[in-house]
A and B are shown apart, each in its own frame.
Chain A
Amino acid sequence: MKNLNRRNFLRLTAAGSAGLFIPSKLPAMTNRTGQPEEEKINIEHRTLGRTGIKVPILSMGVMRADNPNLVKAAIQSGIVHFDTAHSYQEGKNELMLGKIFKDVPRESLVVATKIKVDQRKGIFSKDAPEQFLEKFNISMQRLGLDYVDILYFHAIDSREATLHEPILKVMQDLKAQGRTKNIGVSTHSNEPEVINAAVDSGVYDVVLTAYNFKQKHLPELNAAIDRAAAAGLGVVAMKTMAGAKDINIPAALKWVFRNKNIHTTIPGFTAFDELDVCLACATDPQLTGDEKNYLAQADVAPSLYCQQCNSCTTQCTKHLPIPDLMRAYMYNYGYRYPAEARTLVASLHLSSNPCTSCTSCKVKCTNGFAVAEKVRDIARIAAVPREFLT
Chain B
Amino acid sequence: MKRLLYLLFLLPAATAAAQTPAQLRAYLPEVEGWTIADKVESFTPENLYDRINGAADAFLACNFAEMTQLSYNRVHSDTYITIQCYRHDTPPDAYCIYAGERFPDAEFLTIGAEGYREPQVLNFLSGNVYVKMETHDKSAEAGEAIEKIARTLAKKIDAASTLPALLQRLPEANKVEHSELYVSQSFLAHKFLHSAYMAQYREDGNEYRQFIIDAGTPDAAKQMIKEYLAFAKQEAEPKEKELITINDRYNGRVDMTWDGPYITGRTYE
Contacts and interface: CB of A to CB of B under 8 A. Distances in A.
Interface of A: 1-7, 10-11, 14-16, 18-23, 61, 63-67, 69-70, 72-73, 85, 87-90, 92, 114, 116, 154-155, 186, 188-189, 238-239, 243, 268, 270-274
Given A21-B251, A243-B49, A6 B104 contact: no
Contact of B57 (A19, A67, A186, A268): A268
B54 A63 contact: yes
24 contacts: A3-B134, A4-B134, A4-B136, A11-B105, A15-B179, A15-B207, A16-B105, A20-B209, A21-B252, A67-B251, A69-B252, A87-B55, A88-B55, A89-B100, A90-B101, A90-B103, A116-B53, A186-B53, A188-B53, A189-B50, A238-B54, A271-B190, A272-B189, A273-B191
Interface string B44-77: 0010011011110110110000000000000000
B58 A88 contact: yes
Given A6-B119, A271-B186, 15 more contacts: A2-B136, A11-B103, A15-B200, A18-B181, A21-B269, A23-B268, A61-B54, A88-B54, A89-B55, A89-B100, A92-B100, A243-B46, A270-B186, A272-B190, A272-B250
Interface in B213-250: 250
A21 B267 contact: yes
Contacts of B269: 20-23
A6 B121 contact: yes
Nearest to A95: B103
A87 B56 CA distance: 10
Interface in B106-160: 118-121, 132, 134-136, 138
Interface in B168-218: 176, 179, 181, 183, 185-186, 188-191, 200, 207, 209
Contacts of A3: 134
Contacts of B60: 243
A316 B180 CA distance: 67
A114 B121 CA distance: 21
Nearest to A188: B49
B15 to A, nearest CB: 23
B104 to A, nearest CB: 6
Contact of B250 (A5, A73, A189): A73
B120 A2 contact: yes
B251 to A, nearest CB: 5
Nearest to A20: B269
A15 B100 contact: no
Given A73-B250, A88-B58, A116-B53, A15 B189 contact: no
B82 interface: yes
Contact of A69 (B54, B102, B176, B189): B189
Contacts of B52: 87
A271 B53 contact: no
Nearest to A273: B191
A63 B251 contact: no
A85 B55 CA distance: 9
A247 to B, nearest CB: 13
Nearest to B176: A15
A66 B104 CA distance: 16
User: Which residue among A11, A16, A268 has the maximum number of chain B CB atoms within 10 Å of its CB?
Assistant: A16
Contact of B58 (A64, A155, A271): A64
Residue of A6, A73, A154, A271 contacting most chain B CB atoms (<10 Å) = A271
